[in-house]
Structure 1
């Protein structure tokens, strides 16, 4: 039997026989399991709501207050540490305690991430047509564009901020971008920019940094082992603050997850307004094959390695990498997409634990108002953007082959 014939599962569309022959999803940790349960619950409730406009409800206000409290603890540790060092100088171990508290505050401080050094970063001058499209979609969404675009290999996309001034950056995973049509790329950009427009609480400066700080606190307070009496004593002494931090993290998670779910649904609507409902629904379907994208990229690197892994073999593998990936994914038949949609419903899968189940997002779009595209990306525009990305695409392809094959 040809290899291609074995790529897809044999199943029965009438009775769902063998629709989901895969291994069960791995058991998540307690925090992840809680997030998934909440995501399912909130996703189902919000699915039924007609008006999803952002609301400054009691949960959002309490989450913000809790986040301020978290940052206040860090500031208090720093201030008390400095005071103990300055005022307690010469008083035995007091300055040492102060220095320790200050060091802890520094370790737990909010961190402002920068742009990556190992990926292509594009500015407006590098890709004016791409940034022009981003600005047009952002204006439709009621927000502003981004200051930088970072190209990575992942089958994903994301927006965030960087630096102390919270400049905006868009991450485009070429593993996803390259398998989409130009209009589906408009939907992808519309969804990501919709997060800026709809105020995703979990990604805000105050709450987002508080969640990261609490996660870091929990990491420092979680015991590694208890091989000695001193380690057991230390773990016992840290039990109360550890459970307090764990409780705060669960509470902040619970307070912000509903708003995060709402933001995802609203971002989907922005995608549909920008690119059309048809393109936004097709984008959802492509989310079902991201695992296949990762496997295809790994396969490309393995093939390069099997040919000797030399420079010539790697260069050959890099050339046309994205075109081969797109061709492979485009060969997936509609019957396989239908199977994956059914598996998504059976398993209640979502992009991650902060997203509503993907099948509910798709259903809300497909059963809601059918929108026509407000922004078109025709062949000429798509070709111009592709030309702007050519050098960065080649660099990311080189990274894909080099990292896995070398």
Structure 2
């Protein structure tokens, strides 16, 4: 009865074609695109640098789509060599780290030379600055929900199988968190870590989860200079520099002159960041596209495309999660317990399953209009989806049958409950 009540049937105000829709979502016309994007382009809250990065992502994404559509169809693909842009990016990154080293050496010299006197003050200052700018290797955040191999052998076996199908080494650590995302990175120098965001994992079908794993592990098989150790840590140092040199808001008269003094070095640092972006964007975009083809290779083209459709409704996932979490907080006990968090993931998955195909199609068209992307480093999602559909359809190399799915669910029951309780206790930021 409820499904009937949610149905909307009306003529299109623009072209007169009959529209059938769901009143829970935007009612629009597939024939003429009336009301396909009622909000219009959303004004980005990011600064100029972030907007510039998104613009570059769109430009390179469009150029690479055609190149990779032809290249990926070749039976044998060569591993991409380091380009001149990549070599220059490494050189700039080493220069950034060289500045940090110079601060360290200079601080030690001033500290030793001025020992016991005022000369120690600038030495200590330079040493403190060098410490904050030092290259940092990744570490697991405190409170991370680490899933050990002994506690989740089926999950690790699945990841191992996906890695073997892609010809790469598997991960050493798997972490679950409450973000609508997934990622891979290195811990220290060699250990690999896979982070799975449960809000995204829970709304994917079993085969789409394999596509997600294929995409993430696919990053290990392709060069991505921007996220490598040398260039990646240089970005972190430059971000710290930009933070130190950021202008003081509502400045007093003395602070106004401080802002002026910071202006030139801030422009210089921003220029270096933009230059690194220019040099690494193509390689980073290429890595994302090829990771998508890896997802299709292990899970099938259908599953990889389905995962893209889920990425287009990330906003709906976050909105639903916010609503469900706050409903549980309001009706829960004063001291929230595991019982108050029960059913959170099931409710989230049920909502996403109820999203009609018309809403998915609307999101795809809006994505093409706005150039939607997961973040500033990813190609636009509709272009990633378009590349998969242009290539010959691939069957799945790794399968998720009902028994495997059940074993995975049993293994993850405890960490799923722990992350759900954490969300309910801490709440969800709607922004």
Give the alignment of 1:84-103 within 5 angstroms.
84-89=110-115, 93-103=118-128
Does the CA contact (< 8 Å) of 2:248 and 2:259 recur in 1? no
Give the alignment of 1:11-50 within 5 angstroms.
11-27=28-44, 28-49=46-67, 50=70
Does the CA contact (< 8 Å) of 1:304 and 1:405 recur in 2? no
TM-score by length of 2: 0.89
> How big is the shift at 1:341?
0.5
Question: For 1:7 and 1:125, how far apart are their aligned partners in 2?
Answer: 44
TM-score by length of 1: 0.94
Question: 1:104 maps to which residue?
Answer: 129
Question: 1:146 maps to which residue?
Answer: 171
Question: For 1:225 and 1:338, how far apart are their aligned partners in 2?
Answer: 43
Does the CA contact (< 8 Å) of 2:25 and 2:359 recur in 1? yes
- After superposition, give the CA deviation of every residue in 1:321-358 in whole Å (9 maximum; x if it has no partner): 21121111001111111111111011111111111110
Which SS does the other structure have where 1:151 is aligned?
strand
> How big is the shift at 1:226?
6.2
Question: 2:180 maps to which residue?
Answer: 155
Question: 1:231 maps to which residue?
Answer: 255
Which SS does the other structure have where 1:48 is aligned?
helix
Question: 1:218 maps to which residue?
Answer: 242
Question: For 2:82 and 2:261, how far apart are their aligned partners in 1?
Answer: 39
Question: For 2:115 and 2:320, how far apart are their aligned partners in 1?
Answer: 62
Q: Among residues 68, 77, 84, which one is paired with 2:94 in the alignment?
A: 68
Question: For 1:95 and 1:146, how far apart are their aligned partners in 2?
Answer: 46
Question: For 1:405 and 1:177, how far apart are their aligned partners in 2?
Answer: 17
* RMSD, matched Cα: 2.0
Q: Among residues 66, 79, 83, which one is paired with 2:105 in the alignment?
A: 79
Question: 1:353 maps to which residue?
Answer: 376
Task: State how many pairs are aligned.
Answer: 403
> How big is the shift at 1:81?
0.8
- After superposition, give the CA deviation of every residue in 1:229-278 in whole Å (9 maximum; x if it has no partner): 43233333322222211111111111111111000000001000000111
> Within the alignment, does 1:126 sit opposite 2:151 as a pair?
yes
Question: 1:6 maps to which residue?
Answer: 23
Does the CA contact (< 8 Å) of 2:173 and 2:193 recur in 1? yes
Worse-matched range after superposition: 378-387 or 36-45? 378-387
Which SS does the other structure have where 1:212 is aligned?
helix
Gaps of 5+ in 2: 8-21, 73-78
